Chains A and B, each alone.
Chain A
Amino acid sequence: MGKRLRPARGSGLNINLTPMIDVVFLLLIFFVLIAQSSRWRWAQVELPEPEPSAAKYVYSSDVLTITVICNQQGKLLAYQVQGQMISPEQVGILTQKLQDRKEANPQVEVNLRADRRADGQVVEALMAACAQVGISHVNLVAAMEQ
């Protein structure tokens, strides 16, 4: 009885686990990368590319990034803050977010990621909004040297 249940030697499928685990892990890494890149990607904007560029990456523990999105003609379409799209008419929401972050952390920094085609006045208005709520660390985002 017990002898019957035993799998026949040399006739069944012998699967080597090592390469299978290898491939499974590769697939896992692949899908994790895909998922991460789609989740955390900021809105695509054409950043200014000064040459030579003085832009540097400096780590900061608390940064609020505001992305200014515009169309081909430079017309302002929306702001993106913490993944949320804010239309130009809802600028009050943006000011409220700045206020909230300032209250949560007085040392908060603001990074302005503006499309190169946008009107400079938009960035100036954002700087004025930051100054109004008392945020003094405001950085302009630009492409770094390749």
Chain B
Amino acid sequence: MFSKRYIQKPHPAQIAYGRTFSKALRKARPGRKSLLGVSLTGMIDVVFNLLIFFVVITTAPQREGFLAGELPSASPLQGGMEVPALPIMISVYAGNSFDDCQVEMGGFEHGPESFRELYGVLAGMHADGGGLYEVDNPVVLNLGAGVSVDQMVKTYNAVVLAGFNNIQFVRSR
């Protein structure tokens, strides 16, 4: 026996707008599954989650860190401080490009070929690496004209990495 539901009159909306509207209405009903049997609500949910994930990943900035520095009360740049007696002198001269430069070290005939090598030499000079220089021994960076920030920071980084914390900048006149 058929229940009353199946012999119910059509909804007024169906009559007014015809079959197309009726189909759309049925499609929009919550819980409706697509032809593949996937719940649309859940799929939208997952798609939005993926969208947010990729937006966050792609807009994530480069990881930045700090090379801590402590300026003396009177900066040597202003000529207000005398350079100590036994500093490690490192001179950087600019080359033809941003990545090209020449590094010289006081007391060494041949300067290091790369910043990694500079770090290696400095680490060997440090007391922790069997050298004679203590952590607070002054390291003087003499930056020549045209030296870029990249070369400056990489030199500074090599000194910090080697374990020295008393770094001073000078500029040859």
**Residues 58-75 of chain A: 1 if any B CB is under 8 Å from the residue's CB, otherwise 0?**
100000000010000010
A17 to B25, alpha carbons, bound, how many Å? 17
A45 to B129, alpha carbons, bound, how many Å? 36
A108 CB–B CB distance under 8 Å: no
Which B residues, 53 to 67, have Cβ-Cβ distances below 8 Å to chain A?
A: 55-56, 59, 61-67
CB pair B150 A124 closer than 8 Å: no
Residues of A within 8 A of B (CB): 8, 10-11, 13-16, 19, 22-23, 26-27, 29-30, 33-34, 37, 41-42, 47-48, 50-58, 68, 74, 111, 113-124, 127-128, 130-132, 134-144, 146
What are 14 A-B contacts with C-beta separation under 8 Å? A22-B45, A47-B62, A48-B149, A53-B157, A57-B65, A58-B66, A117-B149, A117-B150, A119-B149, A123-B149, A127-B69, A136-B73, A139-B67, A141-B64
Residues of B within 8 A of A (CB): 5, 11, 13, 25, 28-31, 41-42, 44-45, 48-49, 51-52, 55-56, 59, 61-75, 77-78, 98, 115-116, 119, 143, 145-154, 156-158, 160-161, 169, 171
